[in-house]
Homo-oligomer: A and B are copies of this chain.
C-alpha cells in the first residue's frame, strides 16, 4: 500500500514524540508499505513565529511571512528524517519547493494547483520514506507560499491524491470525528465513519479536526481519510464516500463556531448588482464569507447580513463602510457576540421536519435565532454567543445523539 500519513503539531511537539511517531512509521514500513509523511510545525512554533512578525508591525509583508513561518515545518521534517535514519530507516525530507507542491501566489492562504511528483516517486522507488513539510508550497515563480491555518491536512490529502495513495491517515490529538465537540458536550461520541459531504459541513462549521480544504480535495479525488490519534491505538474515523448505512439518522453531528463576526449592512437600495458589489469587495480583499442572509425587500430597501472569521471582522467592517457610502446604504453594524450552531447529516435529505425540530428545541431553551441558513445537509442558526454551548447540548440530545442511537435506531 501507498500511505500518506500526516502528523499534527502536538504529535511532533518534542523529540520524544518525534521518536514515537518514527517508531510507528517504521512499523508501517516493515509491513512493506510505501510512506509519505507530512508534518506540521511543533505545537506553538507557528504562533511564536507569527508573534515575532506581528511585533514588528500589524500587517507584515505576506510574502515574507510565508518565508518565516514555513521554517516551522522545515525544522520538523529534518528532525523526523534524522530520527528515522538514526533508527536505520532510510528517509529523506523534500521541502515544498523540492517536492514541487505548486500553488497560486496568494501568500498566507495559497491554493495547491498541482504536484509534480517525480522526485517523490523516485525517492519512494528507492525505498525511502519521504518526509514532506505540510502547509508550504511554492508558486510558479519559486516564491515560498503557505496554505493557511491547518494547511498541513490539505498538503497530505493533495499528496495522497497526486500519488494515488490508498489512504491518507491524519494523526492528531483526538481519536476521531465526534458527534459534537466533547469539550462542550460530554455525551458526544466518536463516529466510525462519516461521508465527505457531512465532514465538509462539519469542518466548515468549526469542528477543528480537519481543515475544510483538505476534505474538498479528498472528496474531489476520492481519497479516503482516516483520522486517528497519534497517542492511542484507536480505530479512528474514516472519512469517505457516502455509503448506504450512513443514512440511518437525521443528524450526524452538531457543530458550533464562536469565532465569527456578524456584519449587517442596513437599508441597502434593492437594485440589481448591489449584493455583487458588496461581495466582490470582500472577495477582492480575500475575505471568506460564511453565512449570507438577505431579507426580503421593504420599501425598495433590504438588509444584508453575513458572517466572516473574527480575524477578518474589522477589515470587512471598514470595507462595508466604504461600500455603504458608494451604494447609498444607511449603515453598517458589526456584532462579534455571536455563535453559530449547526446540525449536519445526510439523513436530512430523507427526513422531514428536521429544521422545525431544531428551531423548536432552541425556542424551548429560550434561545433567540438571529439568522438562519441552510444547505441540503445542514442547518445553521446564529445565536447570541452565551447560548452557543447550551444549544449544542440541547440539539445533541434532541436528535438522539447522546445514546449511541446512531448504531441502534433505524
Contacts and interface: CB of A to CB of B under 8 A. Distances in A.
B74 A67 contact: yes
A68 to B, nearest CB: 4
A55 interface: yes
Contacts of A83: 56-57
A52 B15 contact: yes
The 5 closest A-B pairs by CB, nearest first: A68-B78, A71-B71, A67-B78, A57-B86, A64-B81
A97 interface: yes
A82 interface: yes
Given A81-B64, A82-B68, A92-B64, A56 B15 contact: yes
A334 interface: no
A64 B52 contact: no
A314 interface: no
A2 to B, nearest CB: 23
Copies assembled: 2
A8 B196 CA distance: 51
Given A52-B79, A53-B79, 14 more contacts: A19-B56, A52-B75, A61-B81, A61-B85, A64-B85, A67-B78, A67-B81, A67-B93, A68-B82, A71-B71, A71-B74, A71-B75, A74-B74, A98-B142
A243 to B, nearest CB: 42
Interface in A140-184: 142-144
Size range of the interface on A?
Answer: 20 to 34
A68 B60 contact: no
A19 B56 CA distance: 9
Interface in A265-310: none
Contacts of A49: 75
A341 interface: no
24 contacts: A19-B56, A49-B75, A52-B79, A56-B79, A56-B82, A57-B82, A60-B82, A60-B85, A61-B81, A61-B82, A61-B85, A64-B79, A64-B81, A64-B82, A64-B85, A65-B82, A67-B74, A67-B81, A68-B75, A68-B78, A68-B79, A68-B82, A74-B74, A98-B142
A196 to B, nearest CB: 34
Interface in A67-117: 67-68, 71, 74-75, 77-79, 81-83, 85-86, 92-93, 95, 97-98
A63 interface: yes
Nearest to A72: B71
A53 B82 contact: yes
B92 A63 contact: yes
Nearest to A73: B71
Interface string A41-52: 000000001001
Interface in A1-39: 15, 19
Nearest to A55: B15
Nearest to A97: B97
A324 to B, nearest CB: 30
A56 B55 CA distance: 33
A220 B217 CA distance: 53
B15 A95 contact: no
A105 B211 CA distance: 38
Contacts of A64: 78-79, 81-82, 85, 92-93
A302 to B, nearest CB: 41
A72 to B, nearest CB: 8
Contacts of A79: 52-53, 56, 64, 68
Contacts of A86: 56-57, 60-61
Given A97-B97, A142-B98, A78 B56 contact: no
A133 to B, nearest CB: 9
Nearest to A143: B98
Nearest to A93: B67
Nearest to A62: B82
Contacts of A61: 81-82, 85-86
